[in-house]
A and B are shown apart, each in its own frame.
Chain A
Amino acid sequence: MSDTISITVIDRDDKPHRLEAPTDMGLNLMELCKSYELPVQGTCGGMALCASCHVYVLSSHTLSEPSDDELAMLDSAFFVQDNSRLGCQIKIREDLEGLEVKLAPEGG
């Protein structure tokens, strides 16, 4: 199971979910949440266009820098904090072992 990492997602009722995530599938965090049937819509399919996969990054992992598209989307989203990211733009990689995120409120 060396190519699997675990990620903790805290839902909107503050309940933590431990997700096993394969690193060799080119998955992103939005897709991972959906595959576990967490309440993440991913309306736009991962093009940084809807913010329905808005999360707060709680752990201190170094993530790839947000693209202009993602920053522009976060600028027009709500409930945005300094640690806000779009789940669809976070690729599941080995160095994200132990990542902890919280789902932002809906409509954000």
Chain B
Amino acid sequence: MDQKFIETDILIIGAGPVGLFAVFEAGLLKMRCHLIDVLPQPGGQLTEIYPKKPIYDIPGYPSVLAGDLVKNLMKQIEPFSPGFTLGERAETLERNADGRWRVTTDRGHVHLARAIFIAGGLGSFEPRKPPISTIEQYEGKGVEYFVRNPEEFQGKSIVIAGGGDSALDWAIYLANEVRELTLVHRRTEFRGALDSVEKMQHLADKGKIKLVTNAQVVGLQGADHLESVEIQHDTEGSFQISTDYFLPLFGLTPKLGPIGDWGLSIDKGAVEVNTLDYSTNVPGIYAIGDINTYPGKLKLILCGFHEATLACQSAFNVVNPGKKLSFKYTTVTGIEGMPAPATT
């Protein structure tokens, strides 16, 4: 992206099926859309989690693979040339002096729009944090949930916790880079790929990995930076080991994320909306699909499509104040696409 900021009519947060279909309905009303998604490709859960699973309740499709539904939606919205900011998380929401919304991603990209559609599905996928009360105060000071830059661990001592593929893969990769590596797992068996389990065992036999099983990290100590972790063994009690880093690698879990801090009314992790037009308590901000809640809510793609359609009708008045909206059938008028916006 070489632009200073991205301008659009409706900014859609979440590029799952419902967010994608909103582009179509907005396009029929001549409104441009841009989508932001934390995942690197469009489709949300359908692409990320179950692309090969069939869906049976899309009207007109006795069965459609989730991945194919996304492909079809992408084709359906192509005439409206939507923009995408992928692999970035919508972080902050502010109101500009001209009344437009300004959404900035975790990579600092700025988006300006008259209306916002939150179509965030389950939320954004975030690392699963162990229930250690002091863990947040050590984040960035020795506690890391991702390995962003393996070089930073060179010559250091690290403790990795977890028993899945990511814990195993990083333990194997880092074993020869670091001074000391301890792998802590709650059980004796590892569920990772067999090949990885064997490699890890081999490194443990050579003394490159200190393996602690049937144990969990239960406490963290250190003044300004992490200095040691407390490990609780199932039968042998607890002990401390000194370390520079602690990497809990327990996979990702869906969380509402930064949207929870945007002043929207939230109930049990979902955004409350008015079923008249799926607007939130903040004018100009709508929530559609699995992320919203209202009496009688069903988390179904087909319901999300309906919600997107009604939200577009309402957003028309936000995007085009004072303009009259006339309803047309696609069968009568066909699809009139729009070219991609000129980039400057």
Q: How far is the CA of A78 from the CA of B162 in the complex (A)?
A: 10
Say yes or no for A58: interface residue by CB 8 A criterion. Answer: no
Contact B191 A72 (CB under 8 A): yes
Residues in B189-204 with C-beta less than 8 Å from chain A = 191
Contact of A43 with B299 at beta-carbon distance under 8 Å, contacts A71-B191, A78-B130 already known:
no
Residues in A39-89 with C-beta less than 8 Å from chain B = 41, 43-45, 47, 49-51, 71-72, 75-80
Q: What residues of B have a CB within 8 angstroms of the CB of A77 in the complex? A: 128, 250
Secondary structure at the B interface, as helix, strand, loop or mixed, is: loop
Say yes or no for B60: interface residue by CB 8 A criterion. Answer: no
Chain A, Cβ-Cβ closest to B166 = A76
Contact B131 A108 (CB under 8 A): yes
Contact of A44 with B162 at beta-carbon distance under 8 Å, contacts A72-B191, A78-B131 already known:
no
Contact A44 B254 (CB under 8 A): yes
Within the complex, the shortest CB–CB distance from A88 to chain B, in Å, comes to 13
Best-surrounded residue of B49, B50, B251, B253 (most CB of chain A within 10 A): B253
Count of residues in B whose CB is under 8 Å from the partner chain: 22
Chain B, Cβ-Cβ closest to A79 = B131
Contact of B164 among A47, A49, A75 (CB under 8 A): A75
Within the complex, the shortest CB–CB distance from A50 to chain B, in Å, comes to 6
Say yes or no for A105: interface residue by CB 8 A criterion. Answer: yes
Interface string of B120-148 (1 = CB under 8 A from A): 00110000111100000000000000000
Task: List 9 other contacts, CB 8 Å, given A44-B122, A49-B49, A78-B128.
Answer: A41-B268, A43-B123, A43-B269, A50-B254, A75-B163, A76-B128, A77-B128, A77-B250, A105-B131
Chain A residues in the interface with B (C-beta under 8 A): 41, 43-45, 47, 49-51, 71-72, 75-80, 105, 107-108
Q: Can you give 30 A-B contacts (C-beta < 8 A)?
A: A41-B268, A41-B269, A43-B122, A43-B254, A43-B269, A44-B254, A45-B290, A45-B299, A47-B50, A49-B49, A49-B254, A50-B253, A51-B253, A72-B191, A75-B163, A75-B186, A75-B187, A75-B191, A76-B163, A76-B164, A76-B251, A77-B128, A77-B250, A78-B130, A78-B131, A79-B131, A80-B186, A105-B131, A107-B129, A107-B131
A-B complex: 7 closest residue pairs judged by Cβ atoms:
A76-B250, A76-B251, A75-B191, A75-B163, A78-B131, A43-B254, A107-B131
